[in-house]
Structure 1
Amino acid sequence: MNIIKEKDSTKDILTQLRGKMLQNSNKISTNFPHFTEGNHYSYRNDGFWTTGFWPALNLLAYQYYKDDLFLKTFQDCSNHLIKLLDREDILDHDIGFIYIPTFLGHYKLFGDAQSKEIALKAADMLKNRFNSKGKFIRAWNDWEDDTADFREEKKGKVIIDSLMNIPLLFWASEQTKNDDYFIVAKEHAETVMNYIVREDFSTYHTFNFDHVTGTPKKGKTQQGYADESCWSRGQAWGIYGFALVYQYTKEVKFLEMSMKLADYFIERLPEDSVPSWDFDAVENNNIKDSSAAAIAASGLLLVSELEKSEKERYYLKALEIINSLCSEYLSCESDFEALLRKGCSDLPRGAGIESGIIYGDYFFLEALVKLNNVKSFFER
């Protein structure tokens, strides 16, 4: 495997990955990968939050490679995503993860009117989750195995991942000239900044509010090590998400927050620049999360574009992370379906540990193609 010394080297990596991704498109087709079990992806075809990343990966691959098979796979998966829009019991605040890199991405590429309409419908569903008392977008719906207490708690729960979903609202505001979308997105981002980010610029995974009064209660984790620990993928979502909010609002406080979260992330990185699943984990602290590294790298590339005075520092750190992923975590072998090894989906629940993960693959490919002047579907 070639080691990236400068961004042009990524073209060699992308060339090596093309054949594998074409093979996967043929094999996986209209299934929806989640994480690998053994060498092969397990599927979640039930509208899970990761549903959009497989068609999105193919659309992103088409954007770079121009192979028609990638576009066909995206189109073949689209019908399932369209039908999901009738399932408000399934779709939650992660609707942005499903429809931003798919239909919004398709609209950006082709100007397709149907894709625009679908993305706007998804934006309406996201906006309708806004709690005006607490100024937050409710994260999760009810799940079958919920306890009564957890079901009640979720009515007032916000999670840091949400920052990656609200670009859908900012975009919808621009398209419709309706400020309501913008106001909801901005107020939600401010709530995340005020309550999920701690004083040392580490982050909670989730924060609970009283859903009736909007009163803040406390921070908690769902996938991190402990309530007061720093889950590395959540920190990566924060880096990328606040930078996206700045792109749309141009309010410097959001870019500054992205940079502070980035500095915390960078300072806690180990020698190989790929973090443990949780920066503060005492148990299983040797378990890596390559998906957190990929998300952070793509976010850092955006920060380096937005903050000119720190451009070189964040850009070079992104390259360093990508270099490590390419040299130690990448799999070009056809028998292992994921692009990246050693992701960690949900360690507390024993799910997807040291596995390939579809969103890790997506943001890894996104970082690579961004280095070759291909724009992210999440970015303005």
Structure 2
Amino acid sequence: MVFCLIASFACQPKANEEKTEKPVKDIVAHSFQTAVPLYQNLLSETVDDFENYPHSLQADGSLKYLQIDEWTGGFWPGILWNMYAYTQDESWKKAALEWTHSLESNQFNTSHHDIGFMMYCSYGKAKQFEDNPGYQQILVTSAQSLVKRYSPKVGSIQSWNQRKSKGDFNTWAFPVIMDNMMNLELLFYASSVTGDSIYRHVAIQHAEQTMKNHIREDYSTFHVVNYDPESGKVLHRQTLQGFSDASTWARGQAWGIYGFTTTFRETKDPRFLEAAMGLADYFLDHPNLPDDYIPYWDFNAGEPGYFPDWEYDAKVYPKQPRDASAAAIAASALLELSGFVWEEKQKKYDQAAREMLLSLSSDQYLNTDQENPYFLLKHSTGNLPSKNEVDVPLIYADYYFLEALLRLKEMQSK
């Protein structure tokens, strides 16, 4: 595989000539070194508390926690495993083991679809470094819990339970969200270690339905597709966390790039590669992608022709917030995707991922001044329509940023 920019960011697909060229190893080392005191602080703050999982910051700057059954619990132990992977410092491994083990009961969680995030980002990481046969069974049990939410009539895994909706429909009967693509890796793993094809079958069926019903003709994406659980018919489509139902929510697009790249890796089905490339090209070629490659929270926010069905106050958000988490997710996905495509596309995806990581490792996004004492990346957006977590650090932004840096380091070593 040919890699452009093996030592520096000399070639650039966008007009960024004024950027300072940095060797890859410096970007990786600088980011992990910046992370050390922040995560030491976070460990000190959460010592002996294995019931609340760090998620973000409150408005007053205090830590915001989510509980064990919430979707982001696996990212904190996953971050600790990423720190151990880079540093080989046993103290990070010890902490990673403790926080991973705290999630064990989640293997039986069937209340939502996020068990892949929760268990594969924790136990999935742990099995790479710790020879514990119990981890495999925990992950298989987690996969068994996830497939309980699969409907053969719909051909998808139900993301949320039936709940109140917005717009013309009062209820989401069987909602499926783009984020759900991120849980399929757990299912592929379960089939690979058990020899039982049911998990793989469910993952492929789900990916096919997502490809069919979430992706628009131009490879932009809807966030939510609501199905009739009896007929499997699409009832309506929405973009709940984006600007409008017709717009493209940046993190949702990133989830799609990542999820379809993973699905292609596991299946070698060219349809999934085509989907991943189409989503990636939409992301990278969009005229509203800033020169630093860190997207606004929604690609179409505020554009003529896009109208939200929620109360949007342009005075509160005169400048659209960025979403560093979307960039971190996309960067990690693009690095892997670049290994599956021909040279022209490979260079495009590889360069774009490196540009994203270069920006994220700059003082603008990296928490070098310890603006907050706990998280590595600044300027992420969780759910702007709900006025929740706007321009804040988010635990999953840190997780995918570190994952992308480790992927970049591995590519460099090859």
User: What TM-score results when the alignment is normalised by the length of structure 2?
Assistant: 0.84
Q: Does 1:8 align with 2:25?
A: yes
Q: Tell me the distance in 2 between the aligned counterparts of 1:87 and 1:334.
A: 36
Show CA shifts across 1:96-127 (max 9, x none): 00011111221132231111111111100111
1:318 alignment partner AA: A
SS in 2 for 1:166: helix
| 1:161 matched residue in structure 2 | 179
| 1:294 matched residue in structure 2 | 328
Answer yes or no: is the 8 Å Cα contact 1:225–1:278 preserved in 2: yes
Residue 60 (structure 1) shift = 1.5
Answer yes or no: is the 8 Å Cα contact 1:142–1:151 preserved in 2: no
1:27 alignment partner AA: E
Which of the residues 84, 93, 96 maps onto 2:113?
A: 93
Moved more, 100-109 or 163-172: 100-109
Which structure: greater helix fraction? 1
Answer yes or no: is the 8 Å Cα contact 1:3–1:326 preserved in 2: no
| 2:365 matched residue in structure 1 | 329
Q: Tell me the distance in 1 between the aligned counterparts of 2:188 and 2:170.
A: 29
Show CA shifts across 1:352-372 (max 9, x none): 110000000111111111111
Residue 151 (structure 1) shift = 11
Q: Does 1:45 align with 2:67?
A: yes
Q: Does 1:182 align with 2:236?
A: no
Q: Tell me the distance in 1 between the aligned counterparts of 2:80 and 2:398.
A: 11
| 2:346 matched residue in structure 1 | 311
Q: Tell me the distance in 2 between the aligned counterparts of 1:210 and 1:198.
A: 20
SS in 1 for 2:377: coil
Show CA shifts across 1:233-263 (max 9, x none): 0000011110000000001111111111011
SS in 1 for 2:153: coil
1:108 alignment partner AA: Q
| Alpha-carbon distance change, 73 to 151 in structure 1, aligned in 2, over 3 angstroms | farther
Runs of 4 or more consecutive aligned structure 1 residues displaced over 4 Å after TM superposition:
146-152
Q: Does 1:362 align with 2:386?
A: no
Q: Tell me the distance in 1 between the aligned counterparts of 2:102 and 2:128.
A: 20
| Alpha-carbon distance change, 149 to 315 in structure 1, aligned in 2, over 3 angstroms | closer
SS in 1 for 2:221: coil
Answer yes or no: is the 8 Å Cα contact 1:139–1:154 preserved in 2: no
Q: How does 1:8-27 map to 2 (within 5 A)?
A: 8-9=25-26, 10-27=28-45
Q: What are the ranges of 5 or more consecutive residues in structure 1 without an aligned counterpart?
A: 376-380
| 1:253 matched residue in structure 2 | 271
| Alpha-carbon distance change, 82 to 150 in structure 1, aligned in 2, over 3 angstroms | farther
SS in 2 for 1:208: strand
2:395 alignment partner AA: I
Q: How does 1:96-245 map to 2 (within 5 A)?
A: 96-141=116-161, 146=164, 153-245=171-263
The count of aligned residue pairs is 370
Q: Does 1:82 align with 2:104?
A: yes
User: What TM-score results when the alignment is normalised by the length of structure 1?
Assistant: 0.91
Which of the residues 387, 403, 411 maps onto 1:350?
A: 387
Residue 303 (structure 1) shift = 0.7
Show CA shifts across 1:255-306 (max 9, x none): 1111110111012211221111111111545111110111111111111112
Instruction: Give the superposed CA RMSD.
Output: 2.3
| 1:61 matched residue in structure 2 | 83
Calculate percent identity across the aligned residue pairs: 34
Residue 220 (structure 1) shift = 0.8
| Alpha-carbon distance change, 164 to 86 in structure 1, aligned in 2, over 3 angstroms | closer
Residue 46 (structure 1) shift = 4.4
| Alpha-carbon distance change, 153 to 48 in structure 1, aligned in 2, over 3 angstroms | same
Residue 149 (structure 1) shift = 11
SS in 1 for 2:121: helix
Moved more, 108-117 or 258-267: 108-117
Q: Tell me the distance in 2 between the aligned counterparts of 1:257 and 1:224.
A: 21
Residue 141 (structure 1) shift = 2.8
Q: Tell me the distance in 2 between the aligned counterparts of 1:4 and 1:346.
A: 34
Answer yes or no: is the 8 Å Cα contact 1:137–1:188 preserved in 2: yes
Q: What are the ranges of 5 or more consecutive residues in structure 2 without an aligned counterpart?
A: 1-18, 303-313
Moved more, 32-41 or 176-185: 32-41
Residue 33 (structure 1) shift = 1.3
| Alpha-carbon distance change, 48 to 280 in structure 1, aligned in 2, over 3 angstroms | same
